[in-house]
A and B are shown apart, each in its own frame.
Chain A
């Protein structure tokens, strides 16, 4: 028997409820080797970001450009600052800026996409066109232009990330909303007298959430690359604060004297991105509606 999607109106045959569908999704995520590895890698990064509390800007904690030792596992930079502490700070900034900016850009994009797909007509044409206009620009160029306007720093980077994420969420939400709006459960809700806000919030949104969550993981990965790239070019996070990108940019000058300086922050970016890519791939499989239907049977 076909089960109605989550958020089905009262009176329809009972299917999995909004809250009840979450544990099976997590189980399916964990069941995949890629999903497990992705979660573990990201957890490791979060642990480093939270647990390493040494002062990242304190100079002279070791000799300048020291090779890795037990006291300073990643060595020290040109001012004798601990590279592990600076890498951890870079991770905190990278994750904080990326999560915050993608959440804002994504929420706006998803809300507009949802409305455009549901209403169609003129609103849809206008909103889709705005998204299409923003989509083709390489993110790094948008970032350079925006940081030129807003001035270098984390704020400019966050705005750039939000602007770049917005059309991606818009497109995903609109496509999903277009499919869902003509399904029976939406018609049933409308026939029962539910208003637009209730249909969108209670019925459509839970059903377009899976592709949006996958897009969220993908966009966080893009955001991490963009933040690091802009900081690498000197228009992102400004010294004395550390970013994974600015650490690599400075390390480039000392490749002969301190190769470890360039290796460790790079490994952290790569592990972070690998974790996010594995997680988004696994989420795509775990949140596949066909897999959901099979699991609910």
Chain B
């Protein structure tokens, strides 16, 4: 029941996304056929295009037709390259997945470690962890990226500033190229994870069952790993899930800066070319990904904590 209602709740959100994305191409100032035909097209060509694009039908009819095409996986063609949008997205999804996964793992590792250290050790560790999370939550990702390039590529010349290589064919270059974008993308999330782990853990460590565990003679490491962390991890899942949506949004800027050939890069290129079918398709894919992640988190949350399913 809980899972079914969660899935049903995602439907109106997805429908709203579909309407908004339909609007991207169909409510443009001016004639979409003119945009597709390009500035040099003759009136006859534009008129023929209007007919073939079905633009003379009423808007609701156009929306249903568009939706039917989308559901069949037909997102149209790029006006610049002539490739299908589905094909372009298929090429771009791998790099975006690689970058987002690397950033997620990095933020859990760095943010989690700092948060745990701050909560357990206190003192200087706590101050360091607090300062780190404040900084990570303050600095926008495009400036983090520029500063990292300035220090590690321009000044020290340790890492390449942009590009991507295959992890299978050239793992060394691939890792070197992955470091800066992954660190940039993970910085904000690592701050959230750090602040949240620290806060929740500090609260859990005051609970009576922790005192009991300590009184039994368990060492600090086991108390934290076996007793405190499992209880601190439940709220962390929700926060990471919600923030993962923001991370996918961040992909747009980070991929553009580091010339990482993913969906974000595809969107910004399409914005520059006014290639609306590509903008529409990429936004749709990212929206579905964000909603999918939110749904998975809801499900996971229900699985980890049965009280939520029955409330």
* Residues of A with C-beta under 8 A to B271: 144, 148, 233-235
Q: Which of B79-87, B170-178, B197-205, B243-251 contacts A (4 or more CB under 8 A)?
A: B243-251
Using A136-B291, A141-B249 as known contacts, say yes or no to A129 and B12 having CB atoms under 8 A apart. Answer: yes
CB interface residues, A 135-163, toward B, < 8 Å: 136-142, 144-145, 148-151
Q: Does A200 contact B (CB under 8 A)?
A: no
* A248 contacts across to B, CB distance below 8 A: 142-143, 146
- CB contact under 8 A between A145 and B21, given known A140-B252, A256-B154: yes
Contact A228:B291 (CB < 8 A) given known A136-B13, A148-B24, A259-B154:
no
Give the residues in chain B near A255, CB-CB below 8 Å: 146, 149-150, 154
A253 to B23, CA, bound (A): 34
B71 interface residue, CB < 8 Å from A?
no
* Binary CB contact string for chain B from 155 to 174 against chain A (1 if under 8 A, 0 otherwise): 00000000000000000000
Q: In the complex the two chains form, what is the Cα distance from A122 to B261 in whole Å? A: 47
Q: In the complex the two chains form, is A144's CB within 8 Å of B267's CB? A: yes
**For residues 45 through 83 of chain A, which have their beta carbon under 8 Å from a beta carbon of chain B?**
none
Against B, the Cβ 8 Å flags (1 = close, 0 = not) of A118-131 are 00000000000100
Asked whether, in the complex, the Cβ of B245 is within 8 Å of the Cβ of A274, the reply is: no
Per the CB 8 Å criterion, the residue count for chain B at the interface is 45
B291–A149 touching, CB < 8 Å: no
Binary per-residue interface labels of chain B (248-284) against chain A in the complex, 1 for a CB within 8 Å, 0 otherwise: 1110110011000000000110011000100100010
With CB as the reference atom, state the residue of chain A lying closest to B257.
A252
Q: By the criterion CB–CB under 8 Å, are B146 and A274 in contact?
A: no
0 or 1 for each of A259-292: is its CB under 8 Å from B? (1 = yes): 1001100100110011001000000000000000
Specify the chain A residue showing the minimal Cβ separation from B137: A277
Is the Cβ of B17 less than 8 Å from the Cβ of A137?
Answer: yes
CB-CB under 8 A for A266 and B143, given A138-B248, A255-B154: yes
Which of A233, A269, A273, A274 sits near B252, CB closer than 8 Å? Answer: A233
Residues of A within 8 A of B182 (CB): none
Bound-complex Cα distance A228 to B145 (A): 14
**Which residues, 25 to 68 on B, are CB-close (under 8 Å) to A?**
27-29
Q: Are A252 and B252 in contact (CB-based, < 8 A)?
A: no
Known: A138-B246, A262-B150. A144 touches B252 (CB 8 A): yes
A137 vs B27: C-alpha distance when bound (angstroms): 20
User: In the bound complex, do residue B29 and residue A233 qualify as a contact, i.e. CB atoms below 8 Å apart?
Assistant: no
Which of chain A's residues have a CB closer than 8 A to the CB of B279? 144-145, 148
B24 interface neighbour in A136, A145, A235, A256, Cβ under 8 Å: A145
Q: How far is the CA of A149 from the CA of B252 in the complex (A)?
A: 18
Query: Which chain B residues lie closer than 8 Å to A175 at the CB level?
Result: none
B147 interface hit (Cβ, 8 Å): yes
Main secondary structure of the interface of B (DSSP, over half): helix
Residues of A within 8 A of B245 (CB): 136-138
A235 to B273, CA, bound (A): 12
Q: Is the CB of A259 within 8 A of B138?
A: no
The 0/1 profile, CB within 8 Å of A marked 1, for residues 276-311 of chain B is: 100100010011001100100000000000000000
Nearest CB of B to A97, in Å:
16
Query: Do A144 and B283 form a contact, CB below 8 Å, given A259-B154, A274-B138?
Result: yes
With A233-B256, A262-B150 in contact, do A273 and B249 touch (Cβ < 8 Å)? no
A225-B267 Cα distance, complex, nearest whole Å: 19
CB contacts under 8 Å to B, within A200-214, are none
- B4 part of interface (Cβ distance < 8 Å): no
Q: Nearest chain A CB to B135's CB is how many angstroms away?
A: 9
A238 to B257, CA, bound (A): 19
> What's the Cα separation between A130 and B142 when bound, in Å?
31
Does the CB pair A141–B13 fall under 8 Å?
A: no
A141 to B289, CA, bound (A): 12
Most buried by A among B20, B134, B276: B20
Interface assignment of A133: CB less than 8 Å from any CB of chain B:
yes
Enumerate chain A residues within 8 angstroms of B291, measured Cβ to Cβ.
136
Contact with A along B120-152 (1 / 0, CB 8 A): 000000000000001001111011001101100
Could you list some 27 contacts between A and B, CB below 8 A? Answer: A129-B12, A133-B12, A136-B13, A136-B245, A137-B17, A137-B245, A138-B248, A140-B250, A140-B252, A141-B252, A141-B286, A144-B252, A145-B20, A145-B283, A148-B276, A148-B279, A149-B28, A229-B140, A233-B256, A234-B268, A251-B146, A269-B140, A270-B139, A273-B138, A273-B139, A273-B140, A277-B137
Q: Sort A-B residue pairs by CB-CB distance and give the 7 closest, nearest first.
A: A138-B249, A266-B143, A140-B249, A133-B16, A274-B138, A273-B138, A133-B13
List chain B positions with a Cβ less than 8 A from chain A: 9, 12-13, 16-17, 20-21, 23-24, 27-29, 134, 137-140, 142-143, 146-147, 149-150, 154, 245-246, 248-250, 252-253, 256-257, 267-268, 271-272, 276, 279, 283, 286-287, 290-291, 294
Q: A136-B245, A266-B143 are in contact. List 14 more A-B contacts (CB 8 A).
A: A138-B290, A144-B252, A145-B20, A148-B271, A148-B279, A149-B23, A149-B27, A248-B142, A255-B146, A259-B154, A262-B146, A266-B146, A270-B139, A277-B138
